[in-house]
Chains A and B, each alone.
Chain A
Amino acid sequence: MSSLLLMPFFLVAILNLLNTGAVRRYAVVAGIAWSLVQLLWLLFPQSQFSLVGSDFLGRYFPLHLATDGLSVVLLISVGIVGLVTLITGHQTITDEKERFIFINLVLLTMAGLNGLVMVRDLFSLYVYIEVVAVASFVLISLEREKDALEGAFKYLVLSASASMLMLLSIAAILLVCGSTSFDTVNSVLHTAPASPIATLAIALFVGAAFIKGGLVPFHGWLPDAYSSAPAGVSVLLAGIVTKTAGVYTAMRIVASVFGFTPMVKNILLVVGTVSILFGALAALNQKDFRRMLAYSSISQMGYIIIALGTGTALGMAGALFHLFNHAVSKSQLFVNAATVERQTGTRDMTSLGGLGGKMPVTAGTSVVALLSIAGIPPLAGFWSKLIIIIALWQSNHHNYAVIAVVASAITLGYFLLLQRRIFFGKVAPQCDAVKEAGAGLLVPALLLSAIAIGLGVAFPFAVSWFVKVPQSIMNMVAQ
């Protein structure tokens, strides 16, 4: 699968070497085509197209990459969110130069994300996390607005601090294990007695992952970054970047490297719970639509972390599934936020009302996404939340399960109120002249909703696959 890393890189190189006006105008087509290729390779791995293409360059560049169930779910998410980001950004960024740079950076981010989830070495993990982080800083600052620069700077300082902690952890692991590859570290930590250095290293690494993932109490940068970034960039950030750099990292190091020790599980459960509650409650207070979505994201990340904290295969399955659903539905909401912003000129929820009649497609798809996140059947989000709650109950974490259900109810209530005010109900004076957005922004919205609905309806038939995938990962750890 090394082509997933190399192809976007070469694509960017080619796009920049052929410096004609036509290439710059249609670069987005190349980007979209690449996202589709990535998705095709992952969804049909046995086809001739995939088998030849995905390792096409692997012979010349031996890269020590590997994909397992965890990686595959994320690679698919990267493909979907990348595709949607490219389309949204293309519609919302007006300056031609910025648009071209946007497409290049999104492609490079996708390459970085692909690399992140495929490497099998702690240090390489750091390298790709940084690649994605720096690309994010530049993307957030793309239009050089005052607020965006502020958001980017805060994100940068916190992200760089987290990277330092991660590297300190790697230095300690290098001391204890002599290597940074997942397998070596895993075996050394399992055979050797637990030393304080190793415990410190684990805590540092997990802590760094929490900072990058915007979990409480390290979430300070997240609402600012999500709300001040350009519209297309916020889709990418909320949809996949924070999840991969933070939550995937935590999942990978706990599942494949450090193991599910009681200390780690407790940290995950506590941090997850606090994030769920804080995110849900803080979201109630927001007037800016994107800020509200940012706090909601913190809450949903909490669900994934708490599911990881159960340490069971079912919990892992729930975490993975919820990650994917959130990637789909949160991206959906940010795409629609961009649409609403463009058509109405505001992000202030208090001045919006009755948009349902004026923007039926946007309203409909937003409702689908909000219900999926809140966990309503038959949408996909319902199943992932259900699995998480069952996993918590089964592993005797009854209190946590109850909290998860309560927070879910709060989120649901709030989202229903929100929908009623913004999309249904009386048309606010500001929204009188609003029209529905063009096809460019509606296509990604419809696509994402289709996934949320389709996956939800088809889920009962796909349950076995979803539990089998994490089972193999868990077996690795159990030894």
Chain B
Amino acid sequence: MSGNEVGLLSAAGIIAVVLLFIGFYCILVTRNLIRILIGLEVLSKAITLAIVAVGYATHNVGLSQSLAITVIIIEVFVVAVAAGIVINLYRHHESLDTKNIENLKG
């Protein structure tokens, strides 16, 4: 692995971790249901970046691209179902506030 690739991999890895931090912070702090989905999407970006960067650095782009594409496709369905649940929750409560989903005692 040339110095170049190591550098880029490290940078991408760091940014991926930072994105993960941003995503988790968003999910934990927000009181808006849709913003939780935004947080999940940011996490997705972090992971996609990490997988592709690793593949690039280890000269394994065939495998890493397959994995990244699969992850993207699966995440679409997760987000679509999540959006559906959020819409139905909105119809019940007329609000997107997360306080409404603290009804069950957990």
A, B: real partners: yes
Q: Which residues of A approach B to under 8 Å, CB–CB?
A: 123, 127, 130, 133-134, 137-138, 141, 144, 146-147, 149-154, 156-157, 160-161, 163-164, 167-168, 170-172, 174-175, 178-180, 220, 223-224, 227-228, 291
Q: How far is the CB of B89 from chain A (nearest CB, A)?
A: 5
Instruction: Please indicate the chain A residues that have their CB under 8 angstroms from the CB of B93 in the complex.
Output: 146
Q: How far is the CB of B72 from chain A (nearest CB, A)?
A: 11
Q: Given A171-B47, A174-B58, decide whether A157 and B63 contact each other with a Cβ distance below 8 A.
A: no
Among candidates B20, B57, B60, B86, residue contacting A153 with C-beta atoms closer than 8 Å: B86
Please state if B85 and A153 are interface contacts (CB–CB under 8 Å): yes
Instruction: Please indicate the chain A residues that have their CB under 8 angstroms from the CB of B78 in the complex.
Output: 130, 133-134, 156, 160, 163
Q: Given A174-B58, A223-B106, A224-B104, decide whether A160 and B85 contact each other with a Cβ distance below 8 A.
A: no
Q: How far is the CB of B91 from chain A (nearest CB, A)?
A: 9
Q: How far is the CB of A273 from chain B (nearest CB, A)?
A: 22
Q: Which of B73-96 contact A (CB under 8 A)?
A: 74, 77-78, 81-82, 84-86, 88-89, 92-93
Report the Cα distance A220→B106, complex, angstroms. Answer: 6
Q: Given A149-B88, A168-B47, decide whether A174 and B20 contact each other with a Cβ distance below 8 A.
A: no
Please state if A137 and B81 are interface contacts (CB–CB under 8 Å): yes
Please state if A146 and B103 are interface contacts (CB–CB under 8 Å): yes
Q: List 25 A-B contacts (CB under 8 A).
A: A123-B70, A130-B77, A130-B78, A134-B81, A146-B89, A147-B103, A147-B104, A150-B101, A150-B103, A152-B85, A153-B85, A153-B101, A156-B82, A157-B27, A160-B40, A167-B47, A168-B47, A170-B51, A170-B67, A171-B50, A174-B60, A175-B57, A180-B67, A223-B106, A224-B105
Q: Given A134-B78, A174-B54, A175-B54, decide whether A164 and B47 contact each other with a Cβ distance below 8 A.
A: yes
Please state if B50 and A149 are interface contacts (CB–CB under 8 Å): no
**Chain A facing B: main interface SS:** helix
Q: Given A127-B74, A154-B101, decide whether A146 and B60 contact each other with a Cβ distance below 8 A.
A: no
Q: Closest residue of chain A to B86, judged by CB?
A: A153
Instruction: Please indicate the chain A residues that have their CB under 8 angstroms from the CB of B47 in the complex.
Output: 164, 167-168, 171
Q: Which of B36-65 contact A (CB under 8 A)?
A: 36, 40, 43-44, 46-47, 50-51, 54-55, 57-58, 60, 63-64
Report the Cα distance A70→B21, complex, angstroms. Answer: 36
Q: Given A153-B82, A174-B60, A178-B60, decide whether A228 and B71 contact each other with a Cβ distance below 8 A.
A: no
Instruction: Please indicate the chain B residues that have their CB under 8 angstroms from the CB of A170 in the complex.
Output: 51, 67
Q: How far is the CB of B101 from chain A (nearest CB, A)?
A: 4
Q: Closest residue of chain A to B48, judged by CB?
A: A167
> Knowing that A160-B43, A168-B47 are A-B contacts, what are 16 other residue pairs whose CB atoms are under 8 Å apart, sorted by A's residue number?
A134-B81, A141-B84, A141-B85, A146-B92, A150-B104, A153-B89, A154-B106, A156-B85, A157-B36, A167-B47, A167-B71, A171-B47, A171-B51, A178-B60, A180-B67, A224-B106
Please state if A227 and B104 are interface contacts (CB–CB under 8 Å): yes
Report the Cα distance A180→B51, complex, angstroms. Answer: 12
Q: Closest residue of chain A to B89, judged by CB?
A: A149
Report the Cα distance A469→B35, complex, angstroms. Answer: 48
Instruction: Please indicate the chain A residues that have their CB under 8 angstroms from the CB of B54 in the complex.
Output: 171-172, 174-175
Instruction: Please indicate the chain A residues that have their CB under 8 angstroms from the CB of B43 in the complex.
Output: 160-161, 164
Instruction: Please indicate the chain B residues that have their CB under 8 angstroms from the CB of A146 in the complex.
Output: 89, 92-93, 103
Report the Cα distance A127→B77, complex, angstroms. Answer: 12
Please state if A174 and B55 are interface contacts (CB–CB under 8 Å): yes
Report the Cα distance A4→B2, complex, angstroms. Answer: 46
Instruction: Please indicate the chain A residues that have their CB under 8 angstroms from the CB of B33 in the complex.
Output: 153
Q: How far is the CB of B85 from chain A (nearest CB, A)?
A: 5
Please state if A137 and B27 are interface contacts (CB–CB under 8 Å): no
Q: Given A150-B103, A157-B40, decide whether A175 and B58 contact each other with a Cβ distance below 8 A.
A: yes
Q: How far is the CB of B64 from chain A (nearest CB, A)?
A: 7
Q: How far is the CB of A69 from chain B (nearest CB, A)?
A: 29
Instruction: Please indicate the chain A residues that have their CB under 8 angstroms from the CB of B89 in the complex.
Output: 146, 149-150, 153
Please state if B50 and A168 are interface contacts (CB–CB under 8 Å): yes
Please state if B63 and A179 are interface contacts (CB–CB under 8 Å): yes
Instruction: Please indicate the chain A residues that have their CB under 8 angstroms from the CB of B51 in the complex.
Output: 167, 170-171, 174
Enumerate the 4 nearest inter-chain pairs by beta-carbon distance, A residue then B residue, closest first: A171-B50, A224-B104, A150-B101, A167-B47
Q: Closest residue of chain B to A131, judged by CB?
A: B74
Among candidates A127, A156, A172, residue contacting B81 with C-beta atoms closer than 8 Å: A156
Please state if A137 and B85 are interface contacts (CB–CB under 8 Å): yes
Among candidates A134, A137, A161, residue contacting B24 with C-beta atoms closer than 8 Å: A161
Report the Cα distance A227→B43, complex, angstroms. Answer: 29
Instruction: Please indicate the chain A residues that have their CB under 8 angstroms from the CB of B106 in the complex.
Output: 154, 220, 223-224
Instruction: Please indicate the chain A residues that have their CB under 8 angstroms from the CB of B60 in the complex.
Output: 174, 178
Please state if A141 and B63 are interface contacts (CB–CB under 8 Å): no
Please state if A141 and B36 are interface contacts (CB–CB under 8 Å): no
Report the Cα distance A139→B85, complex, angstroms. Answer: 12
Instruction: Please indicate the chain A residues that have their CB under 8 angstroms from the CB of B81 in the complex.
Output: 134, 137-138, 156
Please state if A141 and B88 are interface contacts (CB–CB under 8 Å): yes
